[in-house]
Amino acid sequence: MYDIVIIGGGVIGCAIARELKRWQLKVALCERSDDVGAGASKANSAIIHPGHSAKPGTAMARLNVIGNQLYDQLCQELDIPFQRCGSLTVAFDEEELPALQSVYQDGLANGVPDMRLIDRDELLRREPNLNPESVAALFAPTGGIVCPYELTVGLAENAAINGADVFLNAKVTQVKRNAGNWTVCTGRGDFDCAVVVNAAGLYADIFNNQVSTDTMRIIPRRGEYWMIDKSFDGAFHSTIFQLPGKMGKGVLVSPTVDGAIIVGPNAEDIDDRDDTATTRAGLEYVYQAASRIWPALPRRALITNFAGNRAHLVRHDFVLGEAPDAPGFFNAAGIESPGLTAAPAIARELSAAIAKHLHASANAEFQPCRPPVRRFRTMTMAERAAAIAENPTYGRIICRCEQVTEAEIRDCIRRPVGARSVDAVKRRTRAGMGRCQGGFCMPRVVAILSEELGISPLQVTKNGGNSTILTAKLEELSRERKAEA
Amino acid sequence: MNAIIPIDVLIIGGGPAGLAAALAAKAAGADDILILERENELGGILRQCIHTGFGLHIFKEELTGPEYAARYISDVQAQNIPAQCDTMVIDITSDRLVTCVSAAHGLQQFQAGAIVLAMGCRERPRGALGIPGARCSGIYSAGTAQRFVNLEGYLPGRRVVILGSGDIGLIMARRLTFAGIKVEAVVELMPYSSGLKRNIVQCLDDFGIPLMLSHTVTAIHGKGRLTGVTISKVDADLKPIPGSELHLPCDTLLLSVGLIPENELSRNAGVDLDATTGGPVVDNRLQTSVPGIFACGNVLHVHDLVDHVSVEAAEAGRQAALAAASRHQDEPESAVTVRAGDGVRGIVPQRINSEALTTAPVKLMFRPSSVCRNAVLVVEADGVPVHRVKKRVLTPGEMVELSIKPDFFAAVKPVRELCISCENQ
């Protein structure tokens, strides 16, 4: 029997799991994929929003601003790359100035600190690659960038270190009332609990509607992105937003914490919640819309593209807290942008409400920090020499584009809630994220996963399920074909 | 950290280019040579090229990749040229300080008299093509699949489509067919293949594998593992033609869509790169824009034949040995710029010493921009045509060699520019 079962191992579910461990509570988290952060949490803009773009008076606005302020400490505790690079919301012509003013006023109403309007000269001085037709911008120094999947992994790992049980490949099929408590049925067994947290992202409506008459409908809203090669590192210093309206609806250009540049997303409502395929039309739209910010955006610099689906609700606000007719069933639903930014605030508020509901006492043994991740690429030469002297596998580079060593890959598999697939290794270490996109390191990562997990290379997957990499041993197929003949 | 180790000639990469460069450096008198190789063994990409066709020019016999490499490796060993494997170079500076790491030796730094860049190339990945669609498993670059099959003994799938008709893709079509895998088609965007003619005949035609020219993959399907691709015919501007879509069920898509010289280290060292070749700008001695740093093989420009790599690398190794021995910095000398005119792309070298041009033949290598029948190559010195040579057929898949001889310049000697262009007759 658990006190709480959380449905969904995205950034919201993992953040809630970690916060709940600040109380003496028995927590389980069920994730349908083979890894945490495998849905929208891995495929988004990776922006920590200042909070001027949410409508004043909404939960989105309030939790955006609070969440933003929690990021420094959170990322320090979990050793997650985070930079307050600031954001610029740009007016590209005089006609957009009233809209810019309106964003500024919303920011003031939402309590966004330190914003100021800057003129064209200052703007182009800050961002020389910006469209020279830009006329003014709103500068928000609290804007930031983070690695969203490393953050989700860090939250899950820290929750696990503090005693939360994280069940992967545990798809929830049904939530049932059970004599004043709840039963959460999963592919890995049924869990009884006093409280259910619905952090199921794109599937949150399904679980809510199983237990509550206050129904909701999540609309999968796909966003497509391009990643730009690292050789353009420094092309932009801050996150550049366009104003809503006209053509640039939501497409941004931003540096990433890893020295690449991300551009996107578009917004397209689709039927299939799991359809994260990119489209020719969508990618072209993103490229064109981003070119408005960055006229010299070179096509040859595009190293990869991806799509993520946001969990959109028509009411366009977060749904947080206990369902009115289902005591003990807490929603964290409709979490779309600025959901990543708001995640620490959502987790804090919801956990406090749940702890109160369960009359829980504080957990004095809560350990907020996770052991630092030693990243070869950010070490000084002296640190590298020392690391290799201590553990020679730091001297064996597996991913040459991102300079990821064997030691880092083995470490990410061995940690709590460790990597189980090639993509999980990639998200934790960046192996395969560089310009060759895994052409060099993938066979090596497969070999290490096979060795660490004690499985055949034939069982290693790209991202769980049937996403196998290899299908047979060479001699097996030859034998089969001979037998056929 | 360990002390900085001085070395005369440091060779980055132990593939065919690095091996030939090391042997030539030794022959030219360099004594203190070291090869750094990131794999566990020397030989580079040849290790996984178990098909034949190597060595026809140099050894006058048909060898497999490993056999070709073995000849050079045994020579390197016989010459007592040291090689350190399992070692990755992570930085090269313009004053030739090279930093590398390995499990066995930790972090090392070498101060080199001369450096030969011989890092080879990598394959263009899916992302760079911008093929939209699902991000399922089953999509590999052809060379990655080749490594899985030939070095590790595993098959990447059972039913394969190959996008791009580069040589590795063609070779893999045959290799996978031998292994019992069904190769549905090789799909090529261009109206011609970028692979060698002999590979199209021996790897596709002989096995009845269709080569679909002017087609490309326009969508990728599958959740988890790949289940199929959509291919479309393209128009003259290489744009997919709506309505021409064809669904091909497959569980594997191999990409053989181009090779990119691996020059991140060169860029760190401040070496100027050529946007067309993707490799360093070099002079006729294969010296880059940074004195004492030489380049050869696929890191310089992508070759079709390893034999040509070996020849080029030997010259780079010899020049590096001479540079290391003279120990003096090159003064800027009067150099003639080589320009690719109409119908020609990616000429190497990009600069020629004016003295060299009039004393001995200088070999230029380049590709035509498109398939060219009854072609005439025109050599111009500062805008004046000085030589014409007829070629029956030129294709972008086969590199052209043109020897520039002193007697071309009996009348006009170039001071600024040598231009090569290709005319259709």
Check which CATH number belongs to the domain holding B275 and give it: 3.50.50.60
Q: Are B318 and B32 in contact (CB under 8 A)?
A: no
Residues of A with catalytic annotation? 49
Average pLDDT over residues B247-258: 95
Do B129 and B253 lie in a common domain? yes
**Total residues found in chain B within this entry:** 425
Cα dihedral A371, A374, A378, A383 sign = positive
Do B114 and B229 lie in a common domain? no
Do B218 and B242 lie in a common domain? yes
Do B315 and B344 lie in a common domain? no
Do B44 and B135 lie in a common domain? no
- What is the residue type of A139? F
Average pLDDT over residues B236-247: 95
Taking only residues 90 to 129 of chain B, the set having a beta carbon closer than 8 angstroms to any beta carbon of chain A reads 90, 99, 101-107, 122-123, 125-128
Torsion angle of C-alpha atoms B36, B39, B43, B47, degrees rounded to 10: -170
Q: How many angstroms separate the CA of residue A323 from the nearest CA in chain B?
A: 34
Domains and CATH numbers, chain A: 1-82+144-217+313-372 (3.50.50.60), 87-141+219-308 (3.30.9.10), 376-474 (1.10.10.1100)
- The reply to whether residue A276 touches residue B135, judged by beta carbons under 8 angstroms, is yes
Name, in order, each residue with C-beta under 8 angstroms of B354's C-beta and a sequence gap of 6 or more.
Answer: B334, B335, B336, B413, B414, B415
Domains identified in chain B, total number: 3
Separation between Cα atoms, residue A10 and residue A39, nearest integer Å: 7
Domain that holds residue B417: 335-424
Band (B358; pLDDT cuts 50, 70, 90): confident
Burial tier of B318 (Cβ tally within 10 Å: 0-12, 13-18, 19+) = buried
Quick check: B328 pLDDT over 60? no
Dig out the tokens for B403 from the structure: 């020897």
Do B250 and B129 lie in a common domain? yes
Q: How many angstroms separate the CA of residue B178 from the nearest CA in chain A?
A: 9
Separation between Cα atoms, residue B252 and residue A472, nearest integer Å: 13
- The reply to whether residue A461 touches residue B137, judged by beta carbons under 8 angstroms, is yes
Separation between Cα atoms, residue B10 and residue B33, nearest integer Å: 6
Dig out the tokens for B325 from the structure: 């021995």
- The reply to whether residue A435 touches residue B88, judged by beta carbons under 8 angstroms, is no
Give the pLDDT of residue A230: 85
Q: How many angstroms separate the CA of residue B397 from the nearest CA in chain A?
A: 21
Taking only residues 202 to 231 of chain A, the set having a beta carbon closer than 8 angstroms to any beta carbon of chain B reads 227, 231
Do B71 and B9 lie in a common domain? yes
Look up the CATH number of the domain holding residue B418: 2.60.40
Do B99 and B111 lie in a common domain? yes
Separation between Cα atoms, residue B82 and residue B75, nearest integer Å: 12
Do B114 and B130 lie in a common domain? no
Query: How confident is the model over B111-144, as pLDDT tens digits?
Result: 999 999 999 999 988 776 778 888 899 999 999 9
Is the backbone peptide bond immediately before A338 cis, with ω within 30 degrees of 0?
Answer: yes
Q: In a structure prediction context, what are the per-residue pLDDT tens digits for chain A, which is 485 residues long? A: 999 999 999 999 999 999 999 999 999 999 999 999 999 999 999 999 999 999 999 999 999 999 999 999 999 999 999 999 999 999 999 999 999 999 999 999 999 999 999 999 999 999 999 999 999 999 999 999 999 999 999 999 999 999 999 999 999 999 999 888 999 999 999 999 999 999 999 999 999 999 999 999 999 999 999 999 888 989 999 999 999 864 445 899 999 999 999 999 999 999 999 999 999 899 999 999 999 999 999 888 888 899 999 999 998 999 999 999 999 999 999 999 999 999 999 999 999 999 999 999 999 999 999 999 999 999 999 999 999 999 999 999 999 999 999 999 999 999 999 999 999 999 999 999 888 888 889 999 999 999 999 999 999 999 999 999 999 998 876 677 677 76
Do B78 and B197 lie in a common domain? no
Residue A380 near chain B (CB below 8 Å): no
- The distance in angstroms from the start CA to the end CA of chain A is 57
SS3 string, chain A, reads: CEEEEEECCCHHHHHHHHHHCCECCCEEEECCCCCCCCCHHHCCCCEECCCCCCCCCCHHHHHHHHHHHHHHHHHHHHCCCEECCCEEEEECCHHHHHHHHHHHHHHHHHCCCCCEEEEHHHHHHHCCCCCCCCCEEEEECCCEEECHHHHHHHHHHHHHHCCCEEECCCCEEEEEEECCEEEEEECCEEEEEEEEEECCHHHHHHHHHHHCCCCCCCEEEEEEEEEECHHHCCCCCCEEEECCCCCCCCCEEEECCCCCEEEECCCEECCCCCCCCCCHHHHHHHHHHHHHHCCCCCHHHEEEEEEEEEEECCCCCCEEEEECCEEEEEEEECCCCCHHHHHHHHHHHHHHHHHHHCCCCECCCCCCCCCCCCCHHHCCHHHHHHHHHHCHHHHCEEECCCCEEHHHHHHHHHCCCCCCCHHHHHHHHCCCCCCCCCCCCHHHHHHHHHHHHCCCHHHCECCCCCCECCCEEHHHHHHHHHHHC
What residues pair up with B233 in beta bridges, in sequence order? B215
Separation between Cα atoms, residue B15 and residue B144, nearest integer Å: 17
Please tell me which of the candidates A280, A305, A440 has its beta carbon nearest to residue B122.
A440
> What is the DSSP secondary-structure string of B312-338?
HHHHHHHHHHHHHHH--PPPP--EEEE
Do B265 and B309 lie in a common domain? yes
Please tell me which of the candidates B127, B155, B220 has its beta carbon nearest to residue A477.
B155
Domain end residue (candidates: B326, B346, B372):
B326
Name, in order, each residue with C-beta under 8 angstroms of A287's C-beta and a sequence gap of 6 or more.
Answer: A226, A263, A297, A299, A302
Q: Are B280 and B262 in contact (CB under 8 A)?
A: no
Q: Which chain A residue's Cα is nearest to B256?
A: A439
Give the pLDDT of residue A247: 46
Separation between Cα atoms, residue B151 and residue B153, nearest integer Å: 6
Separation between Cα atoms, residue A80 and residue A150, nearest integer Å: 6
Name, in order, each residue with C-beta under 8 angstroms of A254's C-beta and a sequence gap of 6 or more.
Answer: A45, A46, A47, A85, A145, A236, A238, A239, A240, A261, A262, A263
Cα dihedral A62, A63, A66, A69 sign = negative
Q: Are A67 and A346 in contact (CB under 8 A)?
A: yes
Mutation choice for A interface testing from B124, B155, B181, B238 by most A CBs within 10 A: B155
Domain end residue (candidates: B232, B257, B282):
B257
Classified as helix, coil or strand, B47 is helix
Do B249 and B369 lie in a common domain? no
Angle between helices B16-27 and B65-78 (to 10 degrees): 30
A249/B196: higher pLDDT:
B196
Please tell me which of the candidates B128, B154, B180 has its beta carbon nearest to residue A470.
B154
